[in-house]
Amino acid sequence: MTGIDSKRRGALLRLALALVLFKIFVLLVALSSPVLLPGFFSENYYRGNFHWPPDEAPHALTTLKTWDAQHYLYLATEGYKPGRMPIAFFPLYPWLIRALATLPGVGSQAAALLLANGLSIAAVLLLFDLLRRRHPGTEEWTTVFLLAFPGALFFHFPYTESLFLFLAVAVLAAIERDRWGVAAGAAFLLALTRPNGVLIAGLLAYELLVRVRRKQRPTPMMLLCVGAPVLGLGAYFLFMQAATGDAMAGIEMQRAFHAGRSVTNLFDVGGMLRNLLDVEVIHGIQHSLLDRLAFLLVLATLVPLWRIDKAFFWFALPMALLGPLSGSLVSYTRFAAVIFPTSLVLARALGGQDRVSYRYLTAAVFFVVQIILLLRHATNHWAG
């Protein structure tokens, strides 16, 4: 047992070192974007979009805090105030930024970057270890596809993707070991991270049903765990009521972000199909071919995922479909980055010695697109 544990620790340590080096490379590319693409930084997008502090001129570190990152930095320093655009974003990440920024010498931007990169490293290590137990032999290429996926660039910047991935994997890892209290805590926090965090309830209900079918009597902690995401969403509404005077203020403010999502669209299948075919640009805020290709890729993996791992399926299904069914594919490439079961299906489908070239080609295509999006993101052009 000691030898096995030592081998496991060694593999995780090597992976952690590789992740740190990879992240240094990505951040250096972002910081070098003014040299790599002179004059490409979009002053118009910078001035035209929300940025914080409002009178701050673009500078070297602006490449590491574009688009949504500005909103999180505002919330971390100023909090939730009625009528302000950033209140559309959920509070857990800004709270964590504010807490870490209280340390001596750590400002809000440094805190946001440390959290995004530290949490994504922790998430990948946790997922790698989970896959070693659950799907041995797939962990290496699942990790490669996960990190190479175009939307994975947001694991390196002040966005919620890293936090969301960490908490989602933590839920699965905790349930795998029957630690329902830990799973409940992670699920509760997931619902405070992003609106779709509450969808983890589907996975939790499935896991409870599995145990009932095995004639295992549900414990109070299991039942609490299933309800934890709903409790987390309730806590969000209570917080918004206290902070802004309107529990729905954040949800209402999301209309300002051009996503066009609405629960009234959930049963409009024809509308979803028309939206899927509404392509005007290779990649942009709306009408993006890349976002639609990402959706089709995720969609194609759902059926094989049902056969491979039903728990992973019940995580992926609602995460994959909610945005498109509610009427929008805006930022789908970014949102799909946290749907890690897609990478597992690819790793299995492209496994075997006879498919080595396909594995490398797929990873290379993913990564080339990610680098293009990375350079766009760092120069304040739309990336997702």
213-233 tens-digit pLDDT: 998 899 999 999 999 999 999
Local confidence band at 106 (pLDDT 50, 70, 90 cut-offs): very high
Percent of the chain with pLDDT over 70: 96
Q: How far apart are CA 373 and CA 155, in angstroms?
A: 13
- pLDDT of res. 260: 59
Least trusted range by pLDDT, from 16-20, 35-39, 296-300: 35-39
- pLDDT of res. 364: 97
- pLDDT of res. 3: 53
Least trusted range by pLDDT, from 267-271, 308-312, 358-362: 267-271
Q: How far apart are CA 298 and CA 336, in angstroms?
A: 7
Angle at 343 between CA 28 and CA 254, to 5 degrees: 70
Integer distance in angstroms from the first to the last C-alpha of the chain?
Answer: 45
Residue 234 has pLDDT above 80, yes or no: yes
Least trusted range by pLDDT, from 59-68, 122-131, 135-144, 332-341: 59-68
How large is the average pLDDT for residues 287-305?
96
Q: How far apart are CA 197 and CA 324, in angstroms?
A: 16
- pLDDT of res. 274: 84
Lookup: tokens for 160: 């919620």
How large is the average pLDDT for residues 40-45?
84
- pLDDT of res. 48: 80
- pLDDT of res. 326: 81
How large is the average pLDDT for residues 123-147?
96
Give SS3 for 213: helix
- pLDDT of res. 1: 45
